Structures are given as structure tokens and as C-alpha cells.
Structure 1
Amino acid sequence: MIYLTILMAERVGLIIILAFLLVSVPLFRRLLFNQTISAKIQLTILFSIFAIMANMTGIEIDANNQLHNKIILTAISTNDSIVNARILGVSVAGIIGGPWVGSLVGLVAGVHRIIQGAPLQGWFYVPSSVLIGALSGFLYHDRKSYFKVMTPWHGFIVGILMESIQMLFILLFSPTGWALVKYIALPMILVNSLGTSIFLSIISMYLHQEEELRAMQTHSVLQLTNETLPYFRQGLNKSSAQQVVKIIKKYTNFDAVSITDRQRILAHIGAGDDHHIPGNRLETSLSSNVIKTGQIKIANNSKMIGCIDPNCPLEAAIVAPLRIGNEVIGTLKMYYTDQWHLTPVEIQLAIGLCEIFANQIALGEAEVQAQLVRDAKIKALQAQINPHFFFNAINTISAILRRDQEKARELLLQLSNYFRANLIGARETEITLGQERSQVDAYLELEQTRFPQKYNITFDQQVENDVYLPPFTIQVLVENALKHAFGARKDHNNVQITIKQLGARLAIQVADNGEGIAPELLPKLGKEPLTSSKGSGNALYNLNQRLIGLYDERSALQITSSNKGTKIKISLPYHTKEGADNESLNR
């Protein structure tokens, strides 16, 4: 019996070694917790091979309990039996894959055992193996949490139970019955139970290592995210991208990292930096394809990367789109100089980083818009207490009061309307054209009372007052024209305001016949803050950024100017209160 135990331990040891090699394969580890039918089938095939190998490496024992230690058992004599680790494979199959996997592996193992020899006497191996596989499956861990399997101790108990069931079938249905059981029961129960426990220990060990690896990766990604956030909150630009690629390179094993916008390389670090130069146009056809399709692309060779430099050392790449909403604004590219480094882990990392970075950029854009709204509110509040405007208006009303009390009363009402409109504009992102006109009319009446005959203001309004637009849109343009268009000219200062619908857009134009804008200032106006004692340059910049942020690039200010005057055009999405309500419902 001791000799039999040693021989059994050798056989089980071979199975354990195979298990140790098997769990080193990432594919098998992914199968362990995959609940798909395809994964179940693969597990069934895998453990069926284990069980068949256990049958074929078993120890033949004759009717006199004499051992025949053969290397491979393809067939045995009619009256002989086999001492093997078949039940170990069936039990573990059930524990890992569940009842169906365990039952199917038991069926395969039992049928193969019959094929080996004694079909009539060994029929009971089929139902016993199927029953053991099913019972093991019902006892397996419910796996509500990943990276958990049945503990080795529980596996040992299950191994004892399953092997005891097999001994019971042999006792009841085998021709040699009790004589065989009393000889093989203890070695088989002890060794196979220990084998089951060791098998589960190996799986648990590797899964814990993977859990630790993922925890380390998660920690690195969290650190990476924390360090990149301050830069991407500034938006996707050359400065932020150059800092981000350094951080990505620091926390990953990529040989090179690039970030681009839709046309140019913003940053590149690592291999290939001699020709992947920030500021250059996109160097690879792969990047252009990603921007065009919005789909992540994987390149396994330099030809697929499509770099224009024939000596480029980059041999494998992951190129993923950076999105804000449905718009691709650029790409994140990670390269290797050796193809074999590119694995599914790196691909998933790239996809995850793109999602994180896109959210960071979107967060930055949202913060910019929030700041613009705050700036607009501050400007409105400042206008309410602007001492120059306020005192000029009060002085004008005071002067009118001496000779025309009714006109003074009207101007006071207009001053009240002006400040009331400012308060409304400070609270809302959109107001009706009627509300905007109320503020503009109040402002113009006060200004025209101060400077009689200086300005000729005409309105050509071809839409209803219920159309929506951002607050201060027309007000800023009109105020800018009155303050800056005419210089010291005393008369013939014309301002034409046109509001009409063009298709699905609201077209607004403010045109003057003033002196025009200096050519060196025209490209900057509305696109960047300008230093000005009166603040008009910042007002146009603020308005332009709010229009783009609220709607789209088509809504940006369009400024043309010459020595005959200036025209500022705006094209906004056309919608009324009813349209806004429908839009809200659709969301």
C-alpha cells in the first residue's frame, strides 16, 4: 500500500506540474472567471484532456492486487483495474467550471476509462464520474467576486468526498469489490485529495499575483491620472500635451508616446523623436485613419504604422482617438520598437487612458466655460456699479430734469430697465431677443440723450422676439461700435443692426461706418484678450468664447473691417422657447 501511495503521488505530481504550467498561460487564467458558453466549452476540453491523461498514466492492478507500473496505459486486461488521478481532474473541473463543465468532463473521463478495458464490468465509471463532476460543480464558489476560488482546505474535503463516492461505486459494482477497495481506497483518497488541494492552491496563488499586479497597475494609472489632470484641464494644446507624454512614459513601458490634434503632432517622447517632431504635420497614415474613423487602430508592423521616414524604429503601435462627446479632437499614440511587446494588456491600458484623458479634457473645457460664464456675470455686475456709466447717466437725467421732467422720468425708467436686464443676463445662459432688445434700447436711449445727433442707430429685425440668444450678445457689439468705431467724429456716425433667420441659423450683424480696426489688431480681436483701458477687447473675446462654447465653431465672431467701417457677424442655431422645450425633452 505504501508503494502504491508513492506511485500515485508520482502520477498526481505530473498533473500538478501540468497545472502549474497551465496557469502560467494568460488565456487559461482568463477562462477561469469567464461565464460565456465559449469559455465553458474550452474549459471542458482542457479538463477532459487532464482526465484522459490521468487515465493513461494510471497504475494497472490485476485481480491479485499485483501492480504493473507501465508508462502509458492505452489498454488493460479484462479483469484488471486502474489506480489513477481521474477523479482529481473531474472534481477540479466542477470546482472551476461549475456543474455542466464537471458533468461533461466526467462523461468524457468515464467513457475513456471504459475504452481502456473491461467495457461490461466498468460501465459504472460513466455515471460515477458524471455524478462526481456535477456534485463538485454544485459545491464550487459562486464567484460573485473575481480572483476567488474554493480554498485549498475546502478542496481537500471535496476531494475526500468525491473519491469516497468513487470507492462506493467500485464496492457496489466492481467484480473484485471489497478486495480492490480495501487495497486502493486509502492511497487514492489521500493522494487525490491532496492533489485537489494543491491544484487549487496553485490557481489561487497565480490569481492573487494577478490581483496584486492589477492593483499595482491601478495605482500607477491613478498616479498618472492625478499628475495629468492639471495639464489636460488647460485643454488639448502643445504645452499640456508635452507634459502629459512625459508622465505617460514615466508610468508605462512604452518605447514612445505621442499626442496629436487633428492636424499636427503636439508632443512626442521616446524612439523616433528625430522625425516625430512637435509642430509637424501628422507623420503616419495610421493617425489620419483614426481621426477619420474615430476607431482605435492596432499596428503590428512598421508598414501598418505608415511612417513617412523609412528608417523609423517604431514597429508596433496603438493609436486611440481622443474624444469630446462625438467629436475626435486628436489621438493618443503609444509605440513599441519590438512587435512582441504589444499585448492585450497594453491595448486595454491605451483604451482606458484615452477615456480618462478625454474626460479630463472635457472637464477642462467645462471649467473654461464655467469661468467664461463667471466672467460674464462679473462683467455684468461691474457694469451695474460702473461709476462712469452710472454718473454719466445720472448727470444726463439731472440736466434733462430742469427742462423736461417727462423725458427725465423716461430716462430713469430706461436706466432701471438697463440694470434689470444686466441682472437677468448675469443669471441666464440664454435670454430672448426681446429681453436683449430691452437692454440695448435702454443703453442707446441713455447714450443718445448724452450725445444728441451723434449716432444714427437703425434696427432691421426680421424675426420674432421669442428667439433665444446668449445675454449681452448684441449689447457688447453695439457698445463696442459706439465706443471705438468713430473716434472724435461728431456726426454721421451710423450703426446698422440686422437680425434675421437664414435656414436653421439666427444671423446677427452689427455694421458701422467708422474708421475701421487697425490691421495688426484685426486677427487678434475676439480670439485673445487684448489690453485696453476700456476693456472692449476682453468683452469681444469673452463673447466669442461663450458663443463657441455654448454652440459650435460656426457661431464664432466674423469680423471684417476697412477704413470705411466694420462689420461683425454672428450665426447662431435658431431656436425659440418651444424649440428649447422640445430639445430639453429629447435629452
Structure 2
Amino acid sequence: MINPFIKNKKLLLIYSLLWIFIAAAQSLILIFIVDAPFDYSIADGIVFNGLYSFLGLSFWYMVNFNSLDNYPAYKIILNHIASAAIITTFWLAASYFILSNIIDDPEYLTMLDESLIWRAIAGIMFYIIIIAVDYVIIYYNNFHDKVLKEAELRTLVKETELKSLKYQINPHFIFNSLNSVASLTLSDPEKAREMTIKLSSFLRGTLSRNENRTNSLKEELENSRLYLDIEKVRFGDKFDYVEECDEDCRGGEVPAMLLQPLFENAIKHGVYERVEKVTIKLKCKRENGFLKISLENNYDPEAVPRKGEGIGLKNIKNRLKLFYDNENLISTDKSDGIFRVNIYIPEKK
């Protein structure tokens, strides 16, 4: 892992300024408290702190090496104690050697000898502080990477679930349509041919948009009308379709293939089970920050419900939950022989 103090110019600038401040503070202490000469004090601050600032950059690699992934906690502590002792000794010896060769004042050298113990304590404190900061940076980077990876994983899982739910729709519809084509082949070959052509056209358009996560409501309505055209071949005048959709709603984004299961449900539980004509009505309007889509159809309350896999409404509920992280975006109600499904699509702010 690259040292962030080298990689990040802002961090390197802050690190350098801190050491310049420490060097200046040390020089001022030597001038005003120890009463050392000005030039000696400046040289002392530059040598000791300049050398330690360079040594401090190498601590990052020791911290990376001494991680809990590589060693137990007690061994890491022992390694750092040994490193602190070695580095502090080297730092003091190297600084003393440099200063003793550029300053030959016996009084200053005596002061330097007497202050070595305090400088050693300062060196160990510097070591502890730098090591602690390095560990914090590593922990933060690891935590940040973990959060990003978890977010990517959640997104991947969500996308997989959405695709799985979405791809349940077409096979379900194809199965029903092929059954109808098969039944019409003997009773009405011309209608079977017409239905096959419409089905081919419908599937061609559906497959071309199959990778989209969302479509405009206008596209979804066009797709649904194709589906109803196919069903019209089967049922003739057994149902009518009425669309009441405000123009400003048609550009709204909705999950792809959202409406088709609703129409399948209306055909299956309305048209199939009723002798009289069924009216399927779709309404769409904006309401309290939502795009409200309602599909209703009349049905026979006394008819025996048709058995099925229950894919339609359950599929829609699961997809809406995955898209918008909300379980309350679909509702159904039955009253006065009318079955109604309401879907609420949150509008983008």
C-alpha cells in the first residue's frame, strides 16, 4: 500500500507544516529558555526535527507490516517497542553526529549531552503519535473500502434480483399465449395465424428493451396495448380497454414491464371468469409526490377463482420494493364487483 503522506499532496503539506512548527518551537525554547545562541538553536531545530520527519514517513510501512492480519496483538506491541528504541537511538546518534561536526562550541555540546534524555523521550512520543495516526489512516481506508465493496455487492444482488423477477414475466406470458395459439389452431386457424404474428411483434419489441431497468410510462402503455391486441384475437369483444392518463404523466419513469402483469391479471381473473363484457380501465395521475397508476376491471364475485402461480401481483410488489426500498407502493381492493390495483411510483425530486 502506498504511503498516503507521499501519495496525497495535501497530507504531505500538513505533515511538513507540523514539523516546521515543531522545529520552530524547539528553536524558540533553546533561544529564550536555555539561552542558546540563535544560529545554534535554528540548526538544532532543523537537524533534529528534519531528520525525524524523514524517518517518520517510513513508519507507514512498519505499521502495514505489523497488522493484526500478520501478528497477534502482543507481538505487534513488542515489535513497536523494539522499533521505537532502535529508531530513537539512531535518530539521536545521527543528529548528534551532524551537530557536533558543524558546531564546535563546548558549551552547546555540553547542553546537547545533558538534553539527550529529554530528546529520547520526545523521540518516543513522536514515534507513538505517528504510529497511532498511521493506524487510524489504515483503519479508515480499510473501513471505507469495506463500505464501498458492501455497497457494490448490495447493488449487484439487487440488480440480480430485479432481473430474475423481470425475466419471470415473459415466460409466463409466452406460456399463456402459446396455449391460446394451440387452442385456436383447430377452431380458428386464421385467428391463430393473426395471434402468432402479433405475438412475434410483441416479443421483438419486448426483447429489444429487455435490458432497460426503467421505461417511460408512455412506452409501457404502448407495450401493454400490443399485449391487449393479442388477447383481443382470443377473446374478440369480450373486453374493452379504456385509458385515462394525464399527458404530464406519460413521461414519468417506471420499472420496465411493470404494467403487463396487471393486464394479465385483469384478463385472467376478469375476462376468463365472466360471461358478460369486461371493461379494463387504466387511470394515471400525479398525487402527493407520486405517479399513481390504477388498473381496474369488473369481475364476477360468484365465479370460481382460477388457480395460478401467483406471479403477477407478487412480482410487481417485490420489484417495487427493490427499486424504491418501500413495501407500501401497491394496494388492491374489491368493491361492487370491481377489482382495482393501485401503484404509486415515487417521483424524482
| TM value normalised by structure 2 | 0.67
Q: Give the match for residue 550 of structure 1.
A: 323
* Preserved CA contact (<8 Å) 1:462 1:499: yes
- 1:392 alignment partner in structure 2: 180
Identify which of 279, 295, 313 aligns with 1:540.
Answer: 313
Q: When you count helix as a share of all residues, which structure comes out higher?
A: 2
Q: Residue 442 of structure 1 corresponds to which residue in structure 2?
A: 226
Q: Percent identity?
A: 17
The one-character-per-residue Cα deviations of 1:518-569 (angstroms, maximum 9, x if unpaired) are xxxxxxxxxxxxxx9522x332122123224334649711212235221111
- Structure label with greater radius of gyration: 1
Q: Deviations over 1:169-228 (max 9, x none)?
A: 45xxxxxxxxxx7xx96x776x5596488547744775698599879x96xx98xxxxxx
What does residue range 143-162 of structure 1 map to in structure 2 within 5 Å?
Answer: 143-144=56-57, 146=59, 152-162=89-99
The answer as to 2:39 corresponding to 1:127 is yes
The residue aligned with 2:258 is: 473
Q: Is the 8 A contact 2:238 2:276 kept in 1?
A: yes
Q: Report SS of the residue matched to 2:294.
A: strand
Answer yes or no: is the 8 Å Cα contact 1:380–1:423 preserved in 2.
no
Number of matched pairs: 309
Which residue of structure 2 lines up, in the alignment, with residue 455 of structure 1? 239
Which digits, 9 at most, give the CA deviation of each residue in 1:115-167, with x for residues without a partner?
A: xxxxxxxxx6343223322333333333445557865324302113324555x
Matched, 1:370 2:160: yes
Distance 2:88 2:34 in 1: 29
Greater relative CO (CA pairs within 8 A, separation 6+): 2
1:213 and 1:131 mapped to 2: Cα distance? 32
In 2: Cα distance, 1:144 partner to 1:35 partner: 13
- Give SS of 1:490's match: coil
Q: Spell out the pairing of 1:162-181 with structure 2 (5 A cutoff).
A: 162-163=99-100, 165-166=102-103, 168-170=104-106
Preserved contact between residue 282 and residue 294 of structure 2 (Cα < 8 Å): yes
Residue 74 of structure 2 aligns with which residue? none
Equivalent in the alignment of 1:177: none
Looking at structure 2, the residues matched to 206 and 100 of structure 1 have their Cα atoms a distance apart, in angstroms, of 19
Partner Cα separation in structure 1 for residue 290 and residue 209 of structure 2: 22
Q: Residues 277-300 of structure 1, C-alpha deviation per residue, up to 9 Å, x if partnerless? A: xxxxxxxxxxxxxxxxxxxxxxxx
Could you report, residue by residue, the CA deviation over 1:374-412 in whole angstroms, capped at 9, with x for unpaired residues?
A: 22124324544x2x42131244266434xxx5x666433
**RMSD of equivalent CA atoms:** 4.6
Q: Equivalent residue of 2:342, what SS?
A: strand
Q: 1:509 and 2:294 equivalent?
A: yes
Equivalent position amino acid for 2:157 in 1: E
Residue 367 (structure 1) shift: 1.6
Alignment CA distance shift 1:113-1:368 (3 Å): closer
- Does residue 109 (structure 1) correspond to residue 17 (structure 2)? The answer is no
Cα displacement (A) at 1:362: 7.9
Distance in 2 (CA, whole Å) between partners of 1:365 and 1:516 is 43
Q: Which amino acid aligns with 1:462?
A: D
Taking the aligned partners of 1:417 and 1:197, their CA distance within structure 2 comes to 85
- 1:548–1:554 CA contact under 8 A, matched in 2: yes
The residue that corresponds to 1:45 in the other structure is none
Q: Distance in 2 between matches of 1:496 and 1:113?
A: 94
Instruction: Please say which of residues 414-423 and 375-384 is displaced more in the overlay.
Output: 375-384
TM-score norm. by structure 1 comes to 0.43
Superposed displacement of residue 498, structure 1: 1.9
